[in-house]
Amino acid sequence: MRKRIYIFSLFCSMLFMSCNNRQHLENKIIDRLEANSLGVIKDFQIEKIEKIKSNRYKTIYTFSNPMNKAKIRMTRLYTFSNDLKEIISDENMKTELLTQDEWVEVKL
């Protein structure tokens, strides 16, 4: 019985840390985007965060640009510090524009 309680508490701790870690990464990414976009982003939503290495994450997110009323989806690769507290670099992998209900890749 004690073994089950221990395993359950370990599982709950790992789940909590994972959710907390994802929220921390999302906040760092949002801060970075807001600083780089000069307030031109609206309706921001992170669709996916995928761990590539211990400090590298591939993200897919969408947002609207109110200046040209465009819906944009970006896939970026973020490199964090080893403690995941700071973004060291980010690399644009793909940018897509929603046109006629279909995502079309564009070069920016």
pTM of the entire predicted model:
0.71
pLDDT at 98 over 70: yes
Domain that holds residue 16: 2-106
Residue-wise pLDDT tens digits, 5-42: 544 444 434 433 444 577 888 888 888 877 776 567 78
What residues contact residue 102 under an 8 Å CB cut-off, 6+ apart?
Answer: none
pLDDT at 49 over 70: yes
Q: Nearest CA to 26 among 87, 74, 81?
A: 87
Q: What is the pLDDT of residue 16?
A: 39
Confidence of residue 67 (pLDDT cuts 50, 70, 90): confident
Per the structure, the count of domains in the chain is 1
Two tokens, residue 50: 């995928």
